[in-house]
């Protein structure tokens, strides 16, 4: 337990504490000298950009949450509580949407909604009553829309649909018996009963409010619209000389905000008020009558916008001389593919991404399944401290973790060699999926009895033999699932690795982001092709892992 607390505390909590300490250091953040003062805070918050970026973060979060949450509730209710055809398949498509990196969907919608060459604007200009662009994705509204088409909506549907499916139908039947119609029953019974799980989902998203980076970096930079993460990146990477003092002060302020959010989230999750299955549980569906086809069409439309439309747009735009310029001669070309496939940096990024993703997919489930085992099956002192480390890190933004680790490896003797290597990137992306993995494995271990482990111990098996011979076969399907999710997280990581990667360890997502934030020639088309490789990697692994998942685990004979 001591080793676990020291190891994870060093890589999770120590970087955050170091950021807070460095925010008061006005001497040599880089060379390791210290002179403490409040000057960094005074100078940082005398800049209007700091408060503006925090306000922008709140505006964007509030906007896409106000839209995505009611929409997710309606979609989850349709999928779980109505006899809609293909409900399981449509629900799986929201998982597919969640697996698509936000960078990929953002690039796809940029090709559609760019004010000058976006496909939709080009097509609408052909109409006689349309003058100028109708859509402009480089706006606050465009950023909010990109979040909705990213995973802001799909993640909520994934989490809420099972909760709606587990709701007791007898409660709704009681409302019907009392004379309430479908709408009144939903408003007075269904939604109030589902408030606790909805609040849980809301708080899980709230602690990740400062995590967004790539969407704002692509769409906000051209209009000088900065949020917390992009302002932090601008201070560290874009300014000459870098404003490290301002960056650490900004990071420390958000840490204070997060410290108020995390206890509230954990307090709610620890309460048992969101149980929807009890002894008198009765499943049931609500028939929508003539509105059933409309509901089906609505869900299919949302699924298409989240997955099919951006991916097909990327594929089509990759073969155009300039995406959206149908009058170009020639209109179609393979030059962009030749540019990508002839670029040695692309193959280096592909190799780095593959190593990073595979390492994370293999190491993360094994490591955190063992941690979950310790938290569930062992009564060692320090369990609360270790569990609090993981919960406390849930709200720490990825770019903040990257900045903290940057200070750690530059300020700790013997760790300087890690900067810019793939080893530090592997550590970062493994830790990125820690909380989800641990909570998933904890729930599995809590469901399993201890008699099998006791029988193995009586037979003389040690801990490792018992773990690999008994527990791993039982949790194999969950291992595969978490391997997929961690692979997807690693393949699409940007904010957490952008401050730690060098030119030698650039990933596909960082390379695509670099192209998207430049305005030279065919940069956007090239970025789209790179994103397609990320999609191919994640989709290919998902299909392979799905097949493996059917082959492992406990089977009937």
Domains and CATH numbers, the chain: 1-31+335-557 (1.10.3720.10), 50-230+293-333 (1.10.3720.10)
Q: What is the tens place of the pLDDT at every residue in 488-523?
A: 888 888 877 888 888 888 888 888 888 887 756 677
The pLDDT score that the predictor gives to residue 557 is 46
pLDDT band at 275 (very low <50, low <70, confident <90, very high): very low
**Distance between CA atoms of 497 and 121, rounded to whole angstroms?**
35
Taken as a whole, the chain contains a residue count of: 557
The pLDDT score that the predictor gives to residue 278 is 40
pTM of the model: 0.78
In the block, tokens 């492992």 appear at: 552
Structure tokens at 358: 């595979």
- Which range, of 15-24, 191-200, 438-447, 471-480, averages the lowest pLDDT? 191-200
Q: Is the pLDDT of residue 451 over 90?
A: no
**Distance between CA atoms of 176 and 170, rounded to whole angstroms?**
10
The pLDDT score that the predictor gives to residue 235 is 78
Contact 334, 319 (CB under 8 A): yes
DSSP 181: -
Other beta carbons within 10 angstroms of residue 498's beta carbon come to: 25
Structure tokens at 440: 């998933």
Structure tokens at 260: 């108020």
Q: Is the pLDDT of residue 473 over 80?
A: no
548 vs 435: which has the higher pLDDT: 435
The pLDDT score that the predictor gives to residue 66 is 92
pLDDT band at 181 (very low <50, low <70, confident <90, very high): low
Q: What is the DSSP string of 296-357?
A: HHHHHHHHIIIIIHHHHHHHHHTTBSSTT-TTSSSSB-SHHHHHHHT-HHHHHHHHHHHHHH
**Distance between CA atoms of 498 and 510, rounded to whole angstroms?**
7
Cα-flanking dihedrals φ and ψ of residue 124, to 5°? -70, -30
The pLDDT score that the predictor gives to residue 205 is 73
Structure tokens at 352: 């780095």
**Distance between CA atoms of 213 and 231, rounded to whole angstroms?**
10
3-state secondary structure 495-527: CCCCCCCCHHHCCHHHHHHHHHCCCCCCHHHHH
**Distance between CA atoms of 524 and 106, rounded to whole angstroms?**
11
371 vs 167: which has the higher pLDDT: 371
Contact 288, 227 (CB under 8 A): no
98 vs 392: which has the higher pLDDT: 98
**Helix or strand or coil: residue 25?**
strand
Distance, CA of 524 to chain centre: 23
pLDDT band at 148 (very low <50, low <70, confident <90, very high): very high
Residue 227 has, within 13 A of its CA and on its CB side, a CA count of 26
Contact 127, 119 (CB under 8 A): no
The CA–CA distances, whole Å, from 141 to 144, 216, 284 equal 5, 12, 39
Largest pairwise CA distance in the chain: 83
Structure tokens at 95: 């998982």
In the block, tokens 């094994």 appear at: 366
Residue 264 has, within 13 A of its CA and on its CB side, a CA count of 15
Q: What is the DSSP string of 419-434?
A: TTSHHHHHHHHHHHTH
The pLDDT score that the predictor gives to residue 556 is 44
Q: What is the tens place of the pLDDT at every residue in 256-269?
A: 776 666 666 556 55
């Amino acid at each position: 337990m001591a080793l676990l607390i020291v190891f994870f505390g060093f890589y999770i909590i120590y970087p955050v504490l170091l950021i807070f300490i460095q925010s008061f250091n006005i001497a040599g953040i880089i060379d390791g000298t210290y002179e403490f003062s409040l000057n960094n805070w005074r100078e940082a918050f005398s800049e209007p950009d700091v408060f503006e970026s925090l306000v922008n973060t709140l505006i964007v979060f509030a906007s896409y949450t106000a839209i995505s949450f009611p929409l997710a509730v309606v979609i989850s209710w349709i999928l779980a509580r109505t006899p809609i055809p293909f409900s399981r398949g449509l629900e799986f498509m929201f998982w597919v949407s969640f697996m698509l990196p936000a960078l990929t969907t953002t690039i796809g919608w940029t090709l559609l909604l760019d004010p000058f060459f976006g496909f939709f604007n080009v097509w609408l200009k052909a109409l006689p009553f349309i003058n100028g662009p109708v859509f402009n994705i480089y706006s606050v509204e465009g950023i909010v829309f990109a979040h909705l088409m990213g995973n802001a909506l799909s993640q909520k549907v994934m989490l809420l649909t099972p909760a709606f499916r587990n709701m007791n139908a007898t409660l709704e039947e009681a409302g019907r018996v009392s004379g309430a119609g479908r709408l009144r029953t939903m408003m007075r019974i269904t939604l109030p009963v589902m408030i606790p799980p909805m609040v849980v989902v809301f708080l899980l998203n709230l602690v990740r409010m400062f995590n967004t980076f790539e969407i704002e970096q692509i769409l906000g930079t051209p209009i000088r619209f900065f949020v917390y993460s992009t302002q932090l990146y601008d201070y560290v990477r874009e300014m000459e000389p870098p404003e490290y003092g301002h960056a650490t002060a900004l990071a420390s302020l958000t840490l204070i905000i997060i410290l108020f959010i995390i206890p509230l989230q954990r307090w709610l999750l620890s309460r048992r008020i969101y149980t929807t299955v009890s002894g008198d549980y009765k499943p049931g569906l609500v028939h929508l009558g003539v509105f059933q086809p409309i509901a089906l069409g609505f869900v299919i439309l949302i699924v298409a916008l989240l997955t099919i439309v951006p991916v097909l747009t990327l594929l089509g735009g990759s073969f155009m001389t300039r995406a959206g310029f149908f009058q170009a001669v020639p209109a179609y070309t393979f030059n962009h593919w030749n540019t990508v496939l002839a670029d040695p940096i692309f193959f280096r990024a592909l190799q780095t991404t593959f190593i990073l993703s595979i390492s994370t997919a293999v190491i993360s489930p094994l490591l955190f399944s063992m941690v979950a085992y310790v938290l569930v099956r062992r009564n060692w002192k320090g369990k609360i401290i270790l569990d609090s480390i993981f919960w406390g890190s849930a709200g720490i933004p990825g770019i903040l973790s990257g900045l903290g680790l940057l200070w750690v490896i530059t300020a700790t003797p013997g760790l300087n060699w890690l900067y810019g290597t793939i080893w530090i990137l592997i550590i970062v992306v493994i830790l990125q999926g820690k909380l989800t993995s641990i909570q998933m494995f904890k729930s599995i271990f809590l469901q399993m009895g201890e008699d099998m482990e006791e029988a193995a111990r009586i037979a003389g098996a040690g801990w490792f033999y018992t773990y690999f011979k008994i527990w791993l076969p039982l949790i194999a399907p969950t291992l595969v699932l978490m391997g997929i999710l961690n692979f997807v997280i690693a393949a699409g990581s940007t904010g957490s690795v952008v401050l730690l990667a060098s030119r030698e360890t650039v990933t596909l997502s960082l390379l695509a982001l670099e192209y998207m934030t430049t305005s030279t020639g065919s940069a956007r088309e090239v970025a789209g092709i790179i994103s397609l490789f990320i999609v191919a990697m994640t989709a290919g692994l998902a299909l392979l892992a799905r097949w493996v998942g059917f082959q492992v685990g406990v089977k009937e004979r």
